[in-house]
Amino acid sequence: MTTALGLDESELFSRGLANGRPKLKDRNLGGAIFLVAIDDYSNIDDEVHQDARDFLYPVTSDWQDQFDWAVSLADELDPGWLRSALDRSRFSWDVQRAERLAAIAERKRLRKERTANERKASMEQKQAAVVVRGDRVAVQQPCTGDDSRAGDAAAHV
């Protein structure tokens, strides 16, 4: 399209100059279902992971029916290729998830250990403070028989 000055009318998009609007990618429900299921498979929550595992790698006829239904919603998706890709990726996804779970367990262990060490250090500081205060209290305890303190000069006269 040209303007009155004979210049091309172009719009600036995130991908650069374009004549007209960029064509949006076609998306479909089946593809979205599989993307979410793959993301859920990597989730550290066991319940979410198990649901995604049952969906992506069906062992019962009910889960297989759901898988087949989602494949039918995914336009231009070859079910054989999808099965092959899921099977090839399963081991690496399991390893990644196991590493994340191990890292979380290690962080929890270190946090618990640090908290225990902080409690121990706090108790040691309190005990050291009691000893110091105990020395001061021992020096300033009243003499027997009167209300004056041991440190007072008048009490020992």
Q: Is residue 43 in some structural domain?
A: yes
CA distances from 111 to 97, 104, 107 (A): 21, 10, 6
Q: Is residue 8 in some structural domain?
A: no
Q: Is residue 68 in some structural domain?
A: yes
pLDDT in tens, 120-136: 888 877 777 655 555 55
Which of 130, 127, 128, 152 minimizes the C-alpha distance to 139?
152
Q: Is residue 149 in some structural domain?
A: no
C-alpha–C-alpha distance, residues 59 and 73, integer Å: 21
Question: Cβ contacts of residue 155 below 8 Å, gap of 6+?
Answer: 143, 146, 148, 149
- Looking at per-residue pLDDT, the higher value among 5 and 71 belongs to 71
Looking at the DSSP assignment, which residues form a beta bridge with residue 142? Answer: 149
pLDDT in tens, 12-68: 545 555 555 555 456 688 888 999 999 999 999 999 999 999 999 999 999 999 999
Q: Is residue 19 in some structural domain?
A: no
Residue 128 sits in which domain range? 27-141
Q: Is residue 152 in some structural domain?
A: no
Domain count, the chain: 1
pTM above 0.75? no
Q: Is residue 151 in some structural domain?
A: no
Q: Is residue 3 in some structural domain?
A: no
